[in-house]
Every structure is written in structure tokens, then in C-alpha cells.
């Protein structure tokens, strides 16, 4: 497989050798160099087409598997792996273009108490509702929401200053707080979230881990101040 780069992502393409060299050593060398298939002359055009078609089919299957592996099964939004992949891309872009990048980390307030009170299935409904609400609160195609893990969610806002990030965070907080979540017994419930915000113009020596850690500190600050609020660091 060879990897070609575009301005958006890496694309792995299978390489098929078609050659007049037909002995076993040459085939072994070609395959050891990374060829997906090795076809020696003389060959049947129909068979070549079928082999290429099979390689394309396998490549598409691998891409589907890769996409599925980056989705959270419960909420159907990207998972932490999907976020890390997007974060890497946006971080590099921000360094290259010398732009700001913001991140929001949020936590459903007293989620354990909610689970203990209403049950884990209802807790799953809450997480699905929060995921939908967060996604619908974002205004630009480039904004990216993911499930960070457990009852935590994360939002990546490329080319966004602190005021813009705080505005989006407050919008998310209010939208989630206003959602009525029905229970199986016919009652209605509500939840709130605490949100930590960090904005940075990353440089070559900047740490992505430190960037996320600062947002996490802001989240804990929001919790310490009473929850259901937005706080930022720096």
C-alpha cells in the first residue's frame, strides 16, 4: 500500500505490479515492497480487471471499518479516537496558518446520581440527548463535537477566539439545560452541564496534551464553583 497526501487527509492506495518478471523471487520481492498484488505477463485483461476490482472493494471495506472505529456506538457522534484524529489535523493547520483554536470540555452534572435515580437505560437517553443538542448548537461545518468518554463531551472550534468559544459554550449550556428529557414512566427530567474552555494560538513547540489539560482544569473550576456554568483558563 502507498500513502498519498491531499490537503484534507491521507488516502492509502493499493499498488498492483504488472510485470514481465515471473519467477518466484521477483514476485516475493514485489510483495515484500508492499504490493497488494503481483501479476505476471502474459495475463488476461479480464482477470486483471477482476483483481483490481477486488482491491478497490477491499479498500472501500477498510475505509468503512476505519470510519466506524471512530464513531461512538451509543451517541453516533465521533468518539475519542475520532476527536484525536481531527485534533491532529486542526492543530497542524492552526500552526501553519497562525490561527487560534479553541476547545470545550463538558461534563453532565451529577450524572451518577441521575443514573442511580432513573437507571442506566435512562442515563443512555441523557447521553444521546446531550450529543444531539451539542451537535445542533454548533454553527459551522468545521466545528467538531465528540464523546470524550463516560458523561464527558468535547468540542473543537478551529479558527475561534476566546469570546467566540465562550459564546458557543454558553449556547450549549443553555440549550442542554432547556431540553426536557422524557422517562419511560411518563415523567420528565432535565440535566445541566459544566463546561471548561481553552483558546490558544499553537506554535511548533506547543503541546496538544497541555492544551487539553488546561481545558480540563477549567472544567473542574466550573464544577468547584457550583456546576452548570462555563469557565475558561488563560
pLDDT value at position 12?
Answer: 61
Of 28, 45, 69, at which residue does a domain stop? 69
Residue 107 and residue 60 share a domain: no
> How many domains does the structure of the chain reveal?
2
pLDDT value at position 133?
Answer: 98
Q: How far is C-alpha 57 from the chain's CA centre? A: 25
The verdict on whether 170 is a catalytic residue reads no
Q: C-alpha grid cell for residue 58?
A: 477491499
- Give me the CATH number covering residue 201: 3.30.70.270
Residue 144 and residue 228 share a domain: yes
Q: In which domain, by residue range, is 218 found?
A: 80-233
Q: C-alpha grid cell for residue 85?
A: 484524529
- Residue bearing cell 469557565: 231
Phi, psi at 74, each rounded to 5°: -75, -45
Catalytic annotation, pick one of 151, 152, 214, 224: 151
Of 43, 69, 95, at which residue does a domain stop? 69
Residue 74 lies in a domain: no
pTM of the model: 0.76
Contact (CB, 8 A) for 231 and 214? no
Residue 219 and residue 121 share a domain: yes
Per-residue pLDDT of the chain (234 residues; tens, 9 = 90+): 433 333 444 556 677 767 766 667 766 665 676 666 767 676 677 777 777 777 777 777 777 666 677 899 999 999 999 999 999 999 999 999 999 999 999 999 999 999 999 999 999 999 999 999 999 999 899 999 999 999 999 999 999 999 999 999 999 999 999 999 999 888 999 999 999 999 999 998 999 999 999 999 999 999 999 999 999 987
Rounded-to-integer distance, Cα 101 and Cα 221, Å: 21
Amino acid at each position: 500500500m502507498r500513502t498519498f497526501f491531499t490537503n484534507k487527509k491521507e488516502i492509502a492506495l493499493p499498488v498492483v505490479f504488472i510485470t514481465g518478471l515471473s519467477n518466484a523471487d521477483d514476485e516475493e520481492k514485489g510483495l515484500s515492497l508492499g504490493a497488494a498484488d503481483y501479476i505476471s505477463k502474459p495475463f488476461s485483461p479480464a482477470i486483471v480487471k477482476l483483481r483490481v476490482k477486488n482491491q478497490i472493494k477491499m479498500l472501500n471495506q477498510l475505509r468503512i471499518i476505519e470510519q466506524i472505529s471512530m464513531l461512538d456506538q451509543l451517541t453516533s457522534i465521533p468518539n475519542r479516537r475520532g476527536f484525536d484524529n481531527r485534533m491532529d489535523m486542526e492543530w497542524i493547520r492552526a500552526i501553519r496558518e497562525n490561527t487560534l483554536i479553541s476547545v470545550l470540555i463538558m461534563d453532565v452534572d451529577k450524572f451518577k446520581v441521575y443514573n442511580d435515580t432513573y437507571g442506566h437505560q435512562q442515563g443512555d437517553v441523557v447521553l444521546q440527548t446531550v450529543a444531539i443538542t451539542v451537535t445542533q448548537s454548533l454553527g459551522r461545518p468545521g466545528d467538531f463535537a465528540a464523546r470524550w468518554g463516560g458523561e464527558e463531551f468535547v468540542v473543537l472550534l478551529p479558527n475561534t477566539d476566546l469570546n467566540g468559544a465562550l459564546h458557543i459554550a454558553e449556547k450549549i449550556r443553555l440549550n442542554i439545560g432547556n431540553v426536557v428529557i422524557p422517562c419511560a414512566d411518563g415523567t420528565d427530567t432535565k440535566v445541566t452541564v459544566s463546561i471548561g474552555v481553552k483558546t490558544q494560538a499553537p506554535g511548533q513547540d506547543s503541546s496538544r496534551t497541555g492544551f487539553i489539560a488546561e481545558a480540563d482544569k477549567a472544567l473542574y473550576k466550573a464544577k468547584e464553583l457550583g456546576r452548570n456554568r462555563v469557565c475558561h483558563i488563560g
